[in-house]
């Protein structure tokens, strides 16, 4: 009767510590959740997870709004892609920064981590703002279609708006870098003292004279002076091409054979060049042919009219033939045709040249280029001179001297 009583194994759960034991810490029981603190590594992980979850929910709602808007405005959802992704990164950085600032268990790390997140948020915000700016300009540029026939105004607006957007993006980038640098202690005072010094002013003046800034200013001058525009047809360096892109520092010209001619912006402000579409998109071009004097110009003119009337490339403005040269053994005829744009004009010139060459070969073979050579009779022999030379023993004019004969000195 004096031995201790032992509970069966099935009932040993009843031997657990009571609530009083938990409150007093006796019985070897682990403390409950009431002792949890956010400023710990588990708390930091939970806070970061909560922040990222909130960011995912918010960006998901924004994506849903964009998808609904795309049903009304076609293409809206696709165009919102870059800003949406950059906004997700920006909000994620802000959320993680707040979570870390509130729950970081190591106080000594906070200044460095806060400085890092401050710089990252500034750069991410600038990245997001540039996406919004580009989205805005892209929406505006869609109103100006340069594929239509009369696209002079559209090309001018495209050129200026593209350049303005690039300038705005550069300014945003510079401001973001400056703001990030000013977050460092003492950077603001150092920057103010540098700007106040005469040395920096001289450096800025020297940089302004460099070719890079000269090209930047030349690019802005080209865009706002309306000297050249996107899709203009120009002749530069002896090459016929179309302006494909105008940047702050260079201009890209697409040559007719698909090569790209990259020229600095200062080239167009210091070197003469031909702009075929400066005042209008319609163009005129010539085809030169050298034919024989027996060419029937009226018949060729009628054939040219028939060729252009059968071609959709002709804009029904100009189709004529002029004789521009009649020197030597050939006559130079110059058909003049017109088209709506440079691409149609190039194809029309090739078509006219091929058709007229074929017409001359088939219908006017007498007009094929011919080289004439006239063979005259031999010069008559002067008999008096021949008798005199015979008396002196010399050869008669037109005859070779006999062997052994020597001319008198």
Contacts of 66 (CB under 8 A, 6+ apart): 76, 77, 80, 84
> What is the residue extent of each domain of the chain?
41-142, 226-275, 283-367
Express each pLDDT in 313-348 by its tens digit.
898 888 999 998 888 778 899 999 998 877 788 889
DSSP for 379-397, written as a single string: PPP-HHHHHHHHHTTPPPT
Q: What pLDDT, on a 0 to 100 scale, did the predictor assign at position 129?
A: 93
What average pLDDT is seen over the chain? Answer: 76
Express each pLDDT in 154-169 by its tens digit.
888 888 888 888 888 9
Please state which architecture CATH assigns to domain 226-275: Roll (2.30)
Domain 283-367, CATH among 3.30.450.90, 3.30.70.100, 3.30.70.920, 3.40.190.10: 3.30.70.100
**What span, in angstroms and rounded, lies between the C-alpha atoms of 91 and 125?**
9
Q: Are 367 and 294 in contact (CB under 8 A)?
A: yes
Express each pLDDT in 181-207 by its tens digit.
888 877 666 655 655 554 555 556 555
Express each pLDDT in 233-285 by its tens digit.
888 888 888 888 888 888 999 987 888 999 998 898 888 888 887 776 677 88
Name the residue with tokens 């001319």: 407
- Best CA proximity match to 345, nearest among 316, 314, 324, 369: 314
Q: 270: number of CA atoms within 13 Å, CB side?
A: 10
Name the residue with tokens 């023993």: 393
Q: 20: number of CA atoms within 13 Å, CB side?
A: 0
Neighbours of 90 (CB within 10 A): 21
Contacts of 154 (CB under 8 A, 6+ apart): 144, 145, 146, 148
**H/E stretch holding 319:** strand 314-325
């Amino acid at each position: 009767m004096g031995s201790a009583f032992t509970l069966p194994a099935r009932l040993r759960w009843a031997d657990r510590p009571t609530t009083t034991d938990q409150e007093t810490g006796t019985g070897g029981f682990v403390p409950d959740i009431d002792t949890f603190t956010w400023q710990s590594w588990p708390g930091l992980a939970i806070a970061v997870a909560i922040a990222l979850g909130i960011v995912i929910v918010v960006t998901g709602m924004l994506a849903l709004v964009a998808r609904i808007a795309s049903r009304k405005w076609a293409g809206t959802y696709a165009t919102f892609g870059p800003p949406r992704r950059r906004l997700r990164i920006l909000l994620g950085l802000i959320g993680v920064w707040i979570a870390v600032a509130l729950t970081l268990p190591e106080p000594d790390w906070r200044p460095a981590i806060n400085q890092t997140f401050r710089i990252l948020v500034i750069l991410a915000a600038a990245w997001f703002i540039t996406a919004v700016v580009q989205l805005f300009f892209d929406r505006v540029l869609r109103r100006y279609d340069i594929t239509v026939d009369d696209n002079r105004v559209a090309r001018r607006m495209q050129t200026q708006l593209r350049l303005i957007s690039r300038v705005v993006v550069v300014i945003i980038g510079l401001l973001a870098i400056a703001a990030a640098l000013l977050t460092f202690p003492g950077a603001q005072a150092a920057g103010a003292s540098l700007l106040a010094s005469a040395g920096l002013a001289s450096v800025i003046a020297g940089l302004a004279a460099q070719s890079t800034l000269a090209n930047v200013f030349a690019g802005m001058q080209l865009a706002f002076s309306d000297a050249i525009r996107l899709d203009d047809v120009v002749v530069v360096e002896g090459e016929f091409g179309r302006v494909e892109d105008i940047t702050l520092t260079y201009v890209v010209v697409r040559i007719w054979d698909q090569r790209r001619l990259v020229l600095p912006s200062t080239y167009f402000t210091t070197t003469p060049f031909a702009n075929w579409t400066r005042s209008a998109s319609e163009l005129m071009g010539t085809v030169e042919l050298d034919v024989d004097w027996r060419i029937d110009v009226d018949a060729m003119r009628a054939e040219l009219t028939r060729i252009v009337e059968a071609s959709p490339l002709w804009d029904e403005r100009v189709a004529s033939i002029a004789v521009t040269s009649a020197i030597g053994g050939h006559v130079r005829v110059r058909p003049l045709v017109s088209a709506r744009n440079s691409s149609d004009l190039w194809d029309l010139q090739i078509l006219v040249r091929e058709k007229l060459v074929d017409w001359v070969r088939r219908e006017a073979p007498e007009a094929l280029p011919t080289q004439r050579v006239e063979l005259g009779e031999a010069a008559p022999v002067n008999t008096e001179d021949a008798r005199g030379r015979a008396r002196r023993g010399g050869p008669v004019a037109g005859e070779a001297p006999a062997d052994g004969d020597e001319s008198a000195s």
